[in-house]
Amino acid sequence: MKSEQHRQAFSSTLSGLLLDAQKSLEAKNKESANGYYSCAFGLIAGAALSGGISPESYRTLSEQLMEFRESLIQAFGSAPETSIPTPDITT
């Protein structure tokens, strides 16, 4: 992230989305869980594409998000179709 303020905003927003997604999953609310998952996906992808997070952070967050996606599939039989971007984030 470009600054400590940006890092804190990103972390806080992502944490909130993932907590809400987990709550929705536990409440068996498919639409809500899918919506939070999609928002988290967009936040991570946007940060990666803009160069706002390191390649290591991107890989870690992507792996965690894919694990959550598997939880959605197990709980509901499906999950939103997503495609993790593969930008050149090594520069």
pLDDT tens sequence across 1-37? 567 888 888 888 999 999 999 999 999 999 999 999 9
pLDDT value at position 86?
A: 57
Q: What is 4-76's CATH number, 2.70.98, 1.10.760, 1.10.10, 1.20.58?
A: 1.20.58
Give Cβ neighbours of residue 79 (< 8 Å, ≥ 6 apart): 34, 37, 69, 70, 72, 73
pLDDT digits (tens, 9 = 90+) for 50-87: 888 888 888 899 889 999 999 999 999 998 887 655 55
Residue 22: its pLDDT value, please? 93
pLDDT above 60: residue 48 = yes
* pLDDT score, position 91: 46
